[in-house]
Amino acid sequence: MTAVRPDLEAIAATFSRVPLLGRLSARQRGRLAQFATARSYSAGDTIVKQGDTSMALYVILSGRVAVRREREGGPPVEVNQLGEGGFFGELGLLDDEPRAATIVALEPTTCALLAKWDFQNELREDPDIALALLPVVTARLRGMLEQVGAPEAEV
């Protein structure tokens, strides 16, 4: 992993294409971009590990990653691949639970990281951010429930 000088305009532009942040105003995305840091990873690097403490949202600025779920007694299962504009770690912005998956760079990848404390400070300053994010988070949860075939009535 290498720290990279963040290009705030590029980060804000990518944030606008991220479903989680796309509902925010340009001003709100710009403010969040100011807090972002950029990191570059080589192919094969583990970006985050399942079970670790979740402290940031990652937005992929370039490259591609694999999302893998570790299984007890078996090899990890690749559940998704994400490219530019993809994101992971969003649950860690909202709760204190461990990471739900391991993320591995499949090629040279650069991510913008938004730290939990910066995001939460912005929420305190501008609660409308939370209202804009709720429909996206719930849609993602419903999509995951559909993938595993769980009827909504069971949740």
Average pLDDT over residues 134-140: 80
Per the structure, the count of domains in the chain is 1
Mean pLDDT of the chain: 87
106-124 pLDDT, tens per residue? Answer: 999 999 999 999 999 999 9
- Top-confidence residue, 147 or 87: 87
Report whether pLDDT(4) > 70.
no
How many CB atoms lie under 10 A from the CB of residue 6?
19
Average pLDDT over residues 103-107: 98
Confidence bin at 5 (pLDDT 50/70/90): low
Tell me the residue range of the domain where 51 lies. 2-116+125-149
CA–CA separation, 94 and 129 (whole Å): 12
Inside any domain, residue 104: yes
- Top-confidence residue, 21 or 62: 62
Inside any domain, residue 82: yes
User: By mean pLDDT, which of 68-77, 126-135, 137-146 is the weakest?
Assistant: 137-146
Inside any domain, residue 137: yes
CA–CA separation, 108 and 88 (whole Å): 17
Inside any domain, residue 154: no
Inside any domain, residue 112: yes
Average pLDDT over residues 141-152: 75
Inside any domain, residue 155: no
User: By mean pLDDT, which of 16-30, 83-97, 104-118, 135-149 is the weakest?
Assistant: 135-149
Position 3 scores a pLDDT of: 66
Position 142 scores a pLDDT of: 85
- CATH number at 25 reads 2.60.120.10
- Top-confidence residue, 108 or 13: 108
β partners of residue 112? 38, 59
The closest of 34, 19, 18 to 114, measured between CA atoms, is 34
Strands 2-4 vs 46-48: parallel, antiparallel or unpaired: unpaired
